[in-house]
Structure 1
Amino acid sequence: MNLAWYDVVGLLGTLLILIAYFLLQARRLSGNGVAYPVLNLFGAAGVLVSLLGTFNLSVFLLETAWILVSAYGIWTSMRQRRIDGESHQSGGGK
């Protein structure tokens, strides 16, 4: 079996998504943290790269949505960290 470079990138992307999901289920990763959506974002991007070989519209739409949702998760997690840091520095508001 001959794999092109984009196939290898796609397989690595798939592995990243599966590893992230396994770590979430094993409670080794938080769904509210940054690591989970980052792994998913890079995984989905890898799968998108694999479409350079053979385009598939449904996979393209799924992985694009996966990237957008992951980016939103990263943004909300980072925003929450900033808010938590600001409230911690100001004495917690209690």
Structure 2
Amino acid sequence: MEQAVQVFGSILILVPFALAQWGRISAHSRPYLLLNLCGSAILAVLAGLTSQWGFLLLEGVWAVVSANSLIAALRGRTPRATH
């Protein structure tokens, strides 16, 4: 079951990433940021539960950055850098 949740969390990050690389979605869009936040939060929780500290650091920071960017987008702010 844990593996299925990990795959699900990974898919939530990888699908919008691939779509952004192919020019189908903006990396600053709300759906992109929301999916990244959800996927990275899932993976961060699993990493914490299994004491995978490096992975927890990676996914925890990813979740925090995604959350901050999503909040900014919801408030109508644009990102500082577009490249």
Question: Could you tell me how far apart the structure 2 residues matched to 1:77 and 1:10 are?
Answer: 27
In structure 2, the gaps of 5 or more residues are 78-83
Structure 2 Cα separation of the partners of residues 78 and 29 of structure 1: 17
Distance 2:57 2:45 in 1: 13
Larger Rg: 1
Alignment equivalent of 1:38, drawn from 12, 28, 34 = 34
- Could you tell me the percent identity over the aligned residues? 36
Length-normalised TM-score, structure 2: 0.81
Q: 4+ runs of 1 displaced by more than 3 Å?
A: none
Partner SS state of residue 29, structure 1? coil
Structure 1 segments unaligned to the other structure (5+ residues): 82-94
- Over aligned residues, Cα RMSD in angstroms? 1.4
**TM-score normalised by L of structure 1:** 0.72
